[in-house]
Structure 1
Amino acid sequence: MKQYFLGVDVGGTKSHAVISDETGQVLGFGAGGTGNHEAVGFEGFSSVLDSVTRQALAMAGLEHQALTAIGMGIAGLDWPNDEPLHREVIERLGLHAPMTLVNDAVIGLIVGSRTGWGISVVAGTGSNCRGRDQNGREGRVSGVGHWSGEYGGGGDLVRRAMHSVTKAWVSRGPETILSPKFVEHVGAHDVMDLLEGLSRGRYHLHSSAVMVVFEAAREQDPVAIDALRWLGCELGSLAVGVVRQLHFEELSFDVVLTGSVYKGSPLIAESVGQTVHEVAPHATLVQLTAPPVVGAVMLAMEQAKINHIPLRDQLIQSSNRMLSNEGHMLKPSE
């Protein structure tokens, strides 16, 4: 009897659904916008989940009753009390197959690691870090950002760079080409106008301003380079915490680097590796190159006791082939 597995990646900017059979052949796909309840509420989560799931089922020619199991990686599923709230919504949509819900960082780990377990370190607009051992036990950070002392996202890098600009202006730190670059970026007259405008709300720096820091680092600005190395060390520190929680210190495992910030400079990944290797010398850093939603399909397969590791390449290739044909070439999560 055929088995069908639904994987869903409900992201902070985009969401995807994929249906596969037990051989790793992808049969259906759906795409939508953000479903993070922190941004769009649970009504928005419901709407996006319903849309992407219906698209995938229609393409596969299936009804939801045919699903063997479901795996979901959900942005905003951060705390134990979040899960029952999400399950209520999912039940109302008629999805009753056995399912596993995890934070969206976990599905990137499952598909990105060569073994299906290890640690994922996310560096996008914000940061996150999740780990999973061979038995499925998870380790984590809080995932709530800078007020908890967790840094590693693009916004953190911009703030760090602006600290240096301010220190240079008041003679507390060295001069840096970040100063004129940020002035130009926002259209300010000079550094004083930049700082006044930011403090009064006339100017705004978004996470996209990380490109200013990357550009300055490529021009060999020592302050910008130091900021990138700081960011990498902070991300590595998140991973070290999870290493200790899961007792990975003496193990060989993959650290999956996920997110657009890593694309900005190799210095970030280099610093992550240096920090992690001080505690876990046998860890291997790998970049996520597969669609995270495939990790959700693999998560669904685990419930049917299917060893998905031999199917990993087939799932990735089949997903990308279908998505390319549909004009939706799926990329690693940003």
Structure 2
Amino acid sequence: MMPYYVGIDGGGTKTAVELRTRGSAAHSRAVFGPLNCNSDRTAAAKTLTDTLAWLAAQPEGLAGCDGLCIGSAGISNPDAYNFIQDIIRAGGYTGPLQIVGDQVTALAGALGQPVGTVLIAGTGSICYARTADGREARSGGWGHLIDDEGSAYALGRDILRAVVRAADGRAPATALTELVAQRLGAPGVQPVIRFTYAPTTTKKEIAALAPLLDPALQQGDAAAQAIIAHAADELTQMAAAAMQPLGLQTGSMALLGSVLQKNETLRAAVITRLTAQFPTLTFPEPVGDAADGAAVMAENS
């Protein structure tokens, strides 16, 4: 019987489960439902029980699992941690178990080990850093109402702000005005206000406006350039605040999330700023995702 280890990346819409056989390159992956204990515990419980059933159906059964690592958002809440732990143990798994924040598994997946720094800018934003001896620090990630600077939400919000400021005459005209009007299907400020404050508009809808920066930047739009510069400044400050207390500014940093992986202008601006402050900091391409990272941590548990 070949023992195996498992990494779980729990997300708000789906959960990726990576199974790897110890001592070989064999691996398999399954996808289950959402795993966010702070938003829907019924769905989270089903995802965990479905995952355990899939593992129990493996030739080695649950007893063959030599290590299990679960990465998910909201684990800093002890109640969420205990909720996951209780379901896993009640489901029959008795082996080594790690339950960590999804930023930890994202770091381990991107760099191949949970050591270094990861700067994430997607719908939200956060920077997480961890040393080889387990010391860790984070910066940002406090939610869109008071933080998440440099995220897709922040970019979308700043686009809307630029449009209304230009309409008022508080700022010069911007190409973003026409781009937003095309997206909303109507020109003028009122459609912008209706969209922004509609009960159906969530942070995801505002974050979806972020790609409008690209065509504006291609036109040399000053407002779009200012938004990128502000986001780059904020992400640079976020990264420095997490790295420096741990002395990791000479190590490696992974740049993750839709914003930093798809917006080349912002990515380049962040790298330029960080390199100016920390000349020996490197930015390797990710070697894996968060499920891979969880599997790496499970193997080393």
* TM-score of the pair, normalised by structure 2: 0.89
Residue 74 of structure 1 deviates from its aligned partner by: 0.9
Aligned twin of 1:50: 49
Aligned twin of 1:185: 183
The letter for the 2-side match of 1:122 is I
The letter for the 2-side match of 1:37 is C
Q: Deviations over 1:124-164 (max 9, x none)?
A: 11112211111122211252224443412211110011111
Query: 1-side partners of 2:87 and 2:35: how far apart?
Result: 12
Q: Deviations over 1:193-215 (max 9, x none)?
A: 22342355288443222222223
Change (3 A) 1:147 1:192: closer
Q: Deviations over 1:92-129 (max 9, x none)?
A: 22222111111112112112115541111111111122
CA contact (8 A) 1:73 1:101 kept: yes
CA contact (8 A) 2:5 2:20 kept: yes
Aligned twin of 1:198: 195
Aligned twin of 1:232: 232
Change (3 A) 1:88 1:147: same
- Once the two structures are overlaid, the 10-residue window that deviates more, 125-134 or 111-120, is 111-120
Residue 256 of structure 1 deviates from its aligned partner by: 0.7
Candidates 290, 296, 299, aligned match of 2:297: 299
Residue 287 of structure 1 deviates from its aligned partner by: 3.5
Aligned twin of 1:76: 74
Aligned twin of 2:241: 241
SS in 1 for 2:18: strand
Query: 2-side partners of 1:203 and 1:165: how far apart?
Result: 21
Query: 2-side partners of 1:143 and 1:100: how far apart?
Result: 22
Change (3 A) 1:245 1:80: farther
Residue 81 of structure 1 deviates from its aligned partner by: 5.2
Query: 2-side partners of 1:172 and 1:53: how far apart?
Result: 57
Q: Deviations over 1:218-261 (max 9, x none)?
A: 33322112212322222222211111231224x3x111111111
Aligned twin of 1:90: 88
The letter for the 2-side match of 1:197 is R
Q: What pairs up with 1:260-271 in 2 under 5 angstroms?
A: 260-271=258-269
SS in 1 for 2:252: strand
- Once the two structures are overlaid, the 10-residue window that deviates more, 21-30 or 167-176, is 21-30
The letter for the 1-side match of 2:283 is L
- Whether 2:142 is the aligned partner of 1:159: answer no
Change (3 A) 1:203 1:39: closer
CA contact (8 A) 1:112 1:289 kept: yes
Aligned twin of 2:10: 10
Q: Deviations over 1:53-111 (max 9, x none)?
A: 433553x4231122111111112224455423332232222222111111112112112
The alignment-based identity, stated in percent, is 22
Aligned twin of 2:37: 37
Candidates 90, 101, 104, aligned match of 1:103: 101
CA RMSD of aligned residues (A): 2.4
Residue 2 of structure 1 deviates from its aligned partner by: 4.1
Query: 1-side partners of 2:65 and 2:165: how far apart?
Result: 58
Aligned twin of 2:168: 170
Q: Deviations over 1:272-325 (max 9, x none)?
A: 22333344321111333523211101101121xxxxxxxxxxxxxxxxxxxxxx
Query: 2-side partners of 1:162 and 1:230: how far apart?
Result: 15
Query: 2-side partners of 1:53 and 1:275: how far apart?
Result: 45
Aligned twin of 1:315: none
SS in 2 for 1:283: coil
Change (3 A) 1:139 1:15: same
- Whether 2:165 is the aligned partner of 1:132: answer no
